[in-house]
Amino acid sequence: MKKKDKQQTVAVSEKTQRSTPAQGSSAPIKLELLITIVDKNKAEFYIDLIQSYDVNFQFSEPARGTAKAEILDYLGLADTDKTVIFSVVRSDRLDELMYVLDMKFRTIKNGKGVSVSVPFSSMIGTSVYTFLCNAAEPVWGSNAK
Amino acid sequence: MSENDNKYEMIFCIINAGFSEAVMDAAREAGARGGTVMRARGTAGKEAEEHFKITVHPDKEVVMILVPKDIKDAVLSAVYNSAGMSTAGQGIAFSLPVNKTVGLQ
């Protein structure tokens, strides 16, 4: 009887551990808005690349650069058509993603771009959060503040 | 990864369509290097227009300018003076903190 009670206690304890934050953490993993500005004809490539880093929500907007005509002529560039990609990224995947983006910006022909991350200060809705995190349940992390 | 983490701010300026050049000229004079322009549409309602005694031009442009933190105030001030609410551009401008950057070099 006592052994059974102990087994039940262990089972409950394991269940509790799964549904509560890991040791040393106090909040879910944060999300950041990644703003990536690239040439229009490379947008699809970068959207697919970013999507592979647990990114479930992105939208892109056509845009144009503000370089003056004389500078474009000097550099031999034809146009200033750009695409701005807005992506919601988990902060624990951000460093890796930005490292890869940096490599791609440097190595792909006509693939130069700029990427910046802006932190979310708040959001509402557990289901929305788990969707944006690409997780089955809220993600608790040791780097959360 | 950039070593410029937390040293930049992103300035967003929402203005009537056609005034992005004025914004960029002012920003460049204050030290900004370049920007990106997106098209947008304003959504202020009739009641808000009457209450604040303004006319909202629905065609807008959003200018995004990435600047070092130390010149952010100068750029915002220049943008406000050249395309602020008291001008034909009827612009509003604000800045957001940027955590990390890549691709600036």
Q: Residue B31 belongs to a domain with what CATH number? A: 3.30.70.120
Listed residue (B46, B42, B43) closest to B14, CA to CA: B42
Shortest Cα distance, chain A CAs vs residue B19, angstroms: 12
Query: Does a structural domain hold residue B3?
Result: no
Query: Does a structural domain hold residue B2?
Result: no
Residue A20 CA: distances (Å) to CA of A24, A26, B26: 11, 10, 52
Pairwise CB contact (< 8 Å): B98 & A32: no
Residue A66 three-state SS:
coil
Query: Does a structural domain hold residue B56?
Result: yes
Cα(B7)–Cα(B1) distance, rounded to whole angstroms? 14
Query: Does a structural domain hold residue B103?
Result: no
Q: Does B55 touch chain A (CB under 8 A)?
A: no
Instruction: Give yes or no for a contact between A134 and A89, defined as CB atoms under 8 angstroms apart.
Output: no
Query: Does a structural domain hold residue B101?
Result: no
Global pTM reads 0.80
For residue B50, give its domain range. 8-93
Pairwise CB contact (< 8 Å): A116 & B1: no
The residues that bridge with A59 in the sheet, in sequence order, are A86
Tens digit of pLDDT for each residue in B57-101?
789 999 999 999 999 999 999 999 999 988 999 999 999 999 999
Tens digit of pLDDT for each residue in B34-61?
999 999 988 877 777 777 777 777 899 9
The residues that bridge with A37 in the sheet, in sequence order, are A84, A114
Shortest Cα distance, chain A CAs vs residue B49, angstroms: 28
Minimal Cβ distance to A37: which of B1, B36, B39: B36
Domains in chain A (CATH in brackets) are: 26-133 (3.30.70.120)
